[in-house]
Amino acid sequence: MPRYLSMIRVNESEAPAEGPSPELMERMGVLIEEMTKAGVLLDTAGLTPAAQGKRVTWSGGKIVVTEGPFAESEEVIGGYALIQAEDEAEALEWTKRFLQTHETFWTITCEVRQIAEG
């Protein structure tokens, strides 16, 4: 079965300062449990804020490490889900369900891409 990476993109400046609500975390927990029981969810996690991250760039034969926050980025990857699904349509349905666990004031984009095998 193909695997898909759903990269959860958020604008950190628009996200609630206190983070996800307890109700959101509960809804996510229910969905994660369902996905795990269905054998679809291989791994998932949220990431620390971009201000705590580093970018490592290889350019012109040199390595450059840039410390966050990254001013040129409005959206950052805030988390991910590694999904094993029958096809892209199923991976998209699970991703849509994840997005729908959020309150309406959130603006989140998930980029879903199949993992290249072999």
pLDDT digits (tens, 9 = 90+) for 72-96: 667 889 999 999 999 999 999 999 9
Asked if the model's pLDDT at residue 70 lies above 80, the reply is: no
> 3-state secondary structure string, 18-72?
CCCCHHHHHHHHHHHHHHHHCCCEEEEEECCCHHHCEEEEEECCEEEEEECCCCC
Handedness of CA 70, 75, 78, 83 (dihedral sign): negative
**CA end-to-end distance (rounded Å), the chain:** 13
Domains and CATH numbers, the chain: 3-114 (3.30.70.1060)
Q: Can you tell me whether residue 98 is helix, strand or coil?
A: helix
pLDDT in tens, 1-46: 999 999 999 988 888 888 889 999 999 999 999 999 999 999 999 9
So what's the pLDDT on residue 36? 97
